[in-house]
Amino acid sequence: MLYSGPAFSAAALGDGIVELKFDLAGDSVNKMNATALRDFDAATQAIARAPDVKGVILTSGKPVFIVGADITEFTGMFAAGEQGVVDFCLAGHKLFAAFEDLPVPKVVAINGVCLGGGMELALCCEYRVMSTAATVGLPEVKLGIFPGLGGTVRLPRVIGIDNAVEWIATGSDKKPDAALKDGAVDAVVAPEQLRDAALAMVKEAIAGKLDWKAKRAEKLAPVKLNAIEQMMAFTSSMAVVGGKAGPNYPAPMLALRSMQESATKGRDDALAIEAKYFAKAAVTPQANALIGLFLADQAVKKTAGSWARKTAKEINQAAVLGAGIMGGGIAYQSAVKGTPIIMKDIRSEALDLGLNEAGKLLSKQVEKGRITAEAMSTTLSRIRPTLNYGDFKDVDIIIEAVVENPKVKKAVFAEVEGLVREDTIIASNTSTISVTYLAEGLKRPQNFVGMHFFNPVHMMPLVEVIRGRQSSDDAVAATVKLSQKMGKTPVVVNDCPGFFVNRVLFPYFAGFHMLLRDGADFQAVDKAMEKFGWPMGPAYLMDVVGMDTAVHAAGVMAEGFPDRMKPDFQNTTAVLVGHKRYGQKTGKGYYSYAPDKKGKPKKSPDPETYELVKGVVAEGKQFAPEEIVARCMVPMVNEVARCLEEKIVASPHEADMALIYGIGFPPFRGGACRYLDQMGVANFVALADKYASFGKLYEAPKLLRDMAASGGKFFG
């Protein structure tokens, strides 16, 4: 053994070949953390010192190759500021270059996931052999940064500028075929042949049958395009990448600028340029937010995992009551993920509609070649439509998705409770009504929980699992487990009207309505909020949700929180509902809708809207975008803080993820708590105070005032 450390070992295999193996001690995966980097340096030095080394194969001792850098180390590292990050990158570059410069050919055997820093290490070898089971890629832009361990320098020299721009700016994973086609790997082989293939290749290189020196020289020299060709390649990609990423996501453009500036340089100068631009990306608020989001997502999944482990119960058979928008979506999602589900409605047309929707979604997957026709029919066979309660005694969970009316819901619960086993869970997909209230009158309230899906069910990642006052841990745990099995991210919240997500969404709508009342143009509000980062502004969102639904839910919220959610004026949405303008579903709401070429509803401004709401709005007035943002966001953020105070949601990271996964809170802002941290809680409280005259929704709660006074933050 030439070397053995906590992450790397180097062993002589005979014939001058050394196997450098990455197997991070005490971890299920290999990641490029501080320990691994230090150890990599020591292993490289040991190989450099060893006599008679003729070639190296780089392998992994785990089922993955290298998952990437250790993201948990980023926050601390990036807190060192721009120069600190530059220094860190340069130190990393030195280690990788020392490995690249070993005076022998190197072949990497990529056996599994090889992303980010892992791919960057693989690029230091002259040859890459990939298993058919592996995936490669440079996903760093998803974290608001870009490859900073030489990826932007080596990749364009290996696969050309256009390909490298696509890999780096989109951050997409690449399957073996795509990697081979682009020239990022030299061969793709079956997993069991990988090691032999890498050994054979290194032997050929040693024997001079492969010109490994030429391969290396390419990576040390400037990119092989003349100045004009380079200019053309970068100019066209800048326009595409800039347009796609938009101003809120600066990392892809910084990566491109780095690649452009370094393209004409040799490796070491090019690496210095990469370090400079990488540091610029690393200190942006977007990188801070997106890295925070990644960590929050992991924390949320971990919490859900520990919930799920609290029960031995398995959900093998589900049922959904109601085959409407939500019930149909729930049945589809359950079936796709392998849990058979009975779909019950009181109308056969509704059942047909529900099944048709599922069929349409599956057909699209077949058309796109994602699933086979056979898989489609297997999935569909997992949904059993019915108009009666025939087989309900074998059901492990009933998910209720009938109309949002407590009387109807309670009648349905009373009806089904007598038909199911003692341990069957009854979950309501209510969007606003208190779960504790709905459980009143049930014989087994401990089996009752809320399971709040978002529309469209197959697209939206969040499920709020609501714990009523009497819900048992076992029922909550089993519901969390099912949500995970359905491919969703569950967040357990405590009960109140609107739970967490809708409770904070309605104050945002209230802010919107007040703005309109005071003369703001709803199109200007939408524009300002979309620029802030929301996927759609509040007027458009109302149209998509359905204004009748929104008005109904607002009523429930007003009853639940009369001190701040009961409006003292008639709002524009209520007026439009009065004129049967319910939004997209009726073709008219704030906007008018007509099908586009693909049949999707396309919105256009409608002068009639302004006429209809005239009586409830002040004369038209222009508001600065910052004022619009503040007047919509302050009520929402205040309510998030109240939910944390009241422990409706358990932690800031759960709150942030629920907002991002449930209603599309701008990801580059990281969620409401991250947004507060970034603007400074004291600044936020001052902003809220500025609008105090608009009532209690604008009053910053005690939690925020205390944090403002002590300089507190939600995240370290």
| Orientation angle between helical segments 501-517 and 522-532, nearest 10 degrees | 140
| Distance, CA of 686 to CA of 676 (rounded, Å) | 12
Q: Is the Cβ–Cβ distance between 310 and 484 less than 8 Å?
A: no
- Toward ligand NAD, which CB reaches closer, 346 or 624? 346
323 contacts ligand NAD (rule: CB under 6 A) = yes
For the bound state, the minimum distance from the C-beta of residue 428 to ligand NAD, rounded and expressed in Å, comes to 7
Which of the ranges 88-96, 196-204, 298-306, 449-457 carries the binding residues for ligand NAD, by CB under 6 A?
449-457
Which of 324, 468, 490, 497 is in the footprint of ligand NAD by CB under 6 A? 324
| Distance, CA of 170 to CA of 361 (rounded, Å) | 26
455 contacts ligand NAD (rule: CB under 6 A) = yes
Contact set for ligand NAD, span 371-410 (CB under 6 A)? 401-404, 408
Contact set for ligand NAD, span 526-545 (CB under 6 A)? 545
> Which pair of structure tokens corresponds to residue 712?
């507190």
465 contacts ligand NAD (rule: CB under 6 A) = no
Phi, psi (degrees; rounded to nearest 5) at 110: -90, 105
144 contacts ligand NAD (rule: CB under 6 A) = no
For the bound state, the minimum distance from the C-beta of residue 547 to ligand NAD, rounded and expressed in Å, comes to 12
Which of 169, 179, 412, 524 is in the footprint of ligand NAD by CB under 6 A? 412
Whether residue 579 lies in the annotated active site: no
| Distance, CA of 629 to CA of 475 (rounded, Å) | 40
Q: Which of 93, 452, 513, 653 is catalytic?
A: 452
Residue 490's region, left for phi above 0, alpha for psi from -120 to 50, else beta, is beta
Which of the ranges 29-37, 73-81, 130-138, 425-433 carries the binding residues for ligand NAD, by CB under 6 A?
425-433
3-state SS assignment for residue 319? strand
Nearest to 304 by CA among 482, 490, 494, 466: 490
DSSP letter for 620, please: P
- Toward ligand NAD, which CB reaches closer, 274 or 548? 548
Number of chain positions touching ligand NAD (CB under 6 A): 25
- Toward ligand NAD, which CB reaches closer, 41 or 495? 495
Which of 150, 327, 662, 701 is in the footprint of ligand NAD by CB under 6 A? 327
486 contacts ligand NAD (rule: CB under 6 A) = no
| Distance, CA of 553 to CA of 504 (rounded, Å) | 12
Q: Is the Cβ–Cβ distance between 658 and 491 less than 8 Å?
A: yes
321 contacts ligand NAD (rule: CB under 6 A) = yes
For the bound state, the minimum distance from the C-beta of residue 587 to ligand NAD, rounded and expressed in Å, comes to 18
| Distance, CA of 108 to CA of 297 (rounded, Å) | 32
- Toward ligand NAD, which CB reaches closer, 25 or 403? 403
For the bound state, the minimum distance from the C-beta of residue 606 to ligand NAD, rounded and expressed in Å, comes to 23
Query: Where does 518-624 have alpha helices with state H?
Result: 522-532, 538-545, 547-560, 562-565, 572-578, 607-613
436 contacts ligand NAD (rule: CB under 6 A) = no
Residues contacting 300, CB < 8 A, separation 6+: 489, 491, 653, 654, 657
Site string for ligand NAD, 343-372 (x = CB under 6 A): -xxxx--x----------------------
Give buried/exposed letters for 434-452 (b at 16+ CB in 10 A, else e).
bbbbbbeebebbbbbbbbb
For the bound state, the minimum distance from the C-beta of residue 324 to ligand NAD, rounded and expressed in Å, comes to 2
Which of the ranges 246-254, 451-459, 483-491, 512-520 carries the binding residues for ligand NAD, by CB under 6 A?
451-459
For the bound state, the minimum distance from the C-beta of residue 358 to ligand NAD, rounded and expressed in Å, comes to 14
Residues contacting 278, CB < 8 A, separation 6+: 85, 86, 89, 145, 146, 147, 148, 254, 258
For the bound state, the minimum distance from the C-beta of residue 429 to ligand NAD, rounded and expressed in Å, comes to 4
> Which pair of structure tokens corresponds to residue 180?
């081979």
Catalytic residues: 452
What does the binding site for ligand NAD look like in residue numbers (CB under 6 A)?
321-327, 344-347, 350, 401-404, 408, 412, 429-431, 453-455, 545
